[in-house]
Structure 1
Amino acid sequence: MSAASLSILSAGPGATIQDGGRHGYLRYGITAAGPMDPLAHATANRALDNEAGATAIEISLGGIELTAEGGPVGVALAGGDMRLSLDGAPLPPAVAVTLEPGAALRVRAGRSGAWTYLAVAGRLDVAPMLGSTATHTRSGFGGLEGRALRPGDRLRVADPRPGPAEPHALLAPWLDRPPERIRVVLGPQDDFFAEDQVAAFLSGPWTVTPRGDRMACFLDGTPLRHARGYNIVSDGIAMGAIQVPGEGRPIVLMADRQSTGGYPKIATVIGPDLGRLAQAQAGTRIGFRAVTLAQAVAARRAEAEALRPAVAREPLRRTEFTAEFLLGRNLIGGVVDAGA
């Protein structure tokens, strides 16, 4: 039997291969890439007893449809409130299931959330670049030739393991993260703004605009005023850094950010809230809350502790049966001629 693989039937913009990120090369101008929502990425992997940063498929609002070839593949999905289905049967947005050859797993945009992650029981056999499989499409690094997934791609699964015989919902309450208030640590250039402008930044409200992508989240609201100009000597950019350019509207730098920037950074989103912001769809209103560095570290430790054990699962109790699902099942055991 040939090796098991995942075959991409359709893929919208933004479906890429991502592991935990390409770290250690920022000084060379190479940013980490990696998942937009690190917590959801890790949750999908831990649901299958993988390492939290193992290679997975990141799926955006454009969705994806795929099937298994060569043998069954256990998969887990976690992230936003997307619409998932297996051969037409609806699935919860956080789920573990065995994908049989020929069965179609479909992910489509849902009511909330912007990213979801598909991990495999086994290992996606993708060649690393600089020690990572993370895709950075702007520079053509990693993943499959540095590009997004497209129909016809086949991803070999090394050491495949089956998932549950029937779909199991993932018990991951930490993924319920309303985006209305995002925690930040002020600085490193908050002194470029008067106290009233820092207060205005924290109180908002700010609206997520449609301009956002893997590089940045653009916010709209009452422009902030700089007290000491809006140009600084370029310095390093961390994921979550919030630049305020001359027009006064904050830009939050995300996974595919540039390595350096020359606008003052009023604050930085703490690690545990990066996914909370990434999952906010265009039009979402948010605000920021300043926390101390010690509080940020405590939040990171609590997040790591939640993911230390494998993610709990429970059998799915089906409550919805679509016509597509029912027609796809052989519900007739035979035909009898009543007149005979």
Structure 2
Amino acid sequence: GKTSVEINGKKAHMWQTLTVCKGDIISVGKVESGCRCYLSIRGGINVPMVLGSRSTYVRGRFGGINGRQLKAGDIIEGFTVSLLGAGLRMPESLVPCFGDSFTVRVVLGPQANMFTECGIQTFLSNPYKVTIESDRMGYRLEGPAIEHKGKADIVSDALLPGAIQVPKDGKPIILMRDAQTTGGYPKIGVAITPDLDALGQAKPNSTIKFSEITLREARKKLLEYRKKLAGLAEKLIRIS
């Protein structure tokens, strides 16, 4: 996303490393585009490791600071790190720009056979809106109902981020990074990883359109995406 950043009242730039000293004040404004902005601290945050991670899972109430969101007065400790490598920025051409419309490529299945042909066409040919009932667990969408062939439930099976469930009301739910591990709604498709990551910047009322892609194509796009991410470090520009 995009926001305004200040250090001690002076404008600072996003998408580059910033050196701050003890007592400096970092001010972050409202998100201007996209849904989220990130502050990365070199060396990481000094909190106990949980399941191999220092992240926070708020719904599960573990990780981070007592498994909760940050609040005023919290003290976040870092680690002592070297300043070597400071002074780098992302080239303007590689900085993503997020609007209010997203195209999500999906591989149909694993329960696409539980939907009518008309239902699948409804899914692929109509825009859907992100509702306010959306979070890191899943995005509930509003739009034309997707028709089931019969019952709208299955024996609970495994779920992963990107799976698109369709409950009885026919309104799809895209499972995000904090998705549950099992569920009993049929899944009409699975969003590919590059598009799921971009979708993290969709906010309520953003528009989503789905586009079918084959499994072979999805694998190719994933490899291209990983290669692009791996090459970012080489493209950073050194600044004085």
- Percent of paired sites with the same residue: 36
Alignment of 1:106-255 (within 5 A): 106-162=27-83, 169-171=89-91, 173=94, 175-176=96-97, 179-255=101-177
Taking structure 1 as the reference length, the TM-score comes to 0.64
CA contact (8 A) 2:33 2:98 kept: no
Cα offset for 1:91? 3.4
Q: Which has the higher strand share?
A: 1
Task: For 1:189 and 1:300, locate their aligned partners in 2 and report how far apart those are by CA, in whole Å.
Answer: 22
Residue 274 in structure 1 maps to residue 196 in structure 2: yes
Cα offset for 1:138? 1.4
- Residue 312 of structure 1: aligned partner: 236
CA contact (8 A) 2:118 2:147 kept: no
Post-superposition CA distance 1:28-74 (Å, at most 9, x none): xxxxxxxxxxxxxxxxxxxxxxxxxxxxxxxxxxxxxxxxxxxxxxx
Post-superposition CA distance 1:192-241 (Å, at most 9, x none): 11122111101221111122111111111111111122010001110011
Task: For 1:163 and 1:177, locate their aligned partners in 2 and report how far apart those are by CA, in whole Å.
Answer: 32
CA contact (8 A) 1:202 1:287 kept: yes
AA at the equivalent of 1:133: R
Cα offset for 1:155? 2.4
* Compared CA separation, residues 197 and 91, structure 1 to 2 (3 A): farther
Rg comparison, structure with higher value: 1
* Compared CA separation, residues 218 and 90, structure 1 to 2 (3 A): farther
Cα offset for 1:257? 1.6
Residue 293 in structure 1 maps to residue 215 in structure 2: yes
- Of stretches 91-100 and 205-214 in structure 1, the one that deviates more from structure 2 is 91-100
* DSSP-derived class of the 1:119 partner: coil
Post-superposition CA distance 1:100-147 (Å, at most 9, x none): 222221223322211222222223222111222221111112112111
Task: For 1:256 and 1:303, locate their aligned partners in 2 and report how far apart those are by CA, in whole Å.
Answer: 21
Cα offset for 1:297? 1.6
Task: Specify every segment of 5 or more residues in structure 1 that has no aligned partner in the other structure, as ranges.
Answer: 1-79, 317-340
Task: For 2:51 and 2:86, locate their aligned partners in 1 and report how far apart those are by CA, in whole Å.
Answer: 37
Task: For 2:109 and 2:59, locate their aligned partners in 1 and report how far apart those are by CA, in whole Å.
Answer: 28
CA contact (8 A) 1:135 1:142 kept: yes
Instruction: Give the alignment's Cα RMSD to 1 decimal.
Output: 2.2
Cα offset for 1:84? 2.2
CA contact (8 A) 2:108 2:190 kept: yes
CA contact (8 A) 2:4 2:30 kept: yes
Cα offset for 1:174? 6.2
* Compared CA separation, residues 165 and 301, structure 1 to 2 (3 A): closer
* DSSP-derived class of the 1:306 partner: helix
Cα offset for 1:164? 7.3
Cα offset for 1:182? 0.9
Task: Work out the number of aligned pairs and report it.
Answer: 236
Task: For 1:191 and 1:174, locate their aligned partners in 2 and report how far apart those are by CA, in whole Å.
Answer: 40
Task: Specify every segment of 5 or more residues in structure 2 that has no aligned partner in the other structure, as ranges.
Answer: none
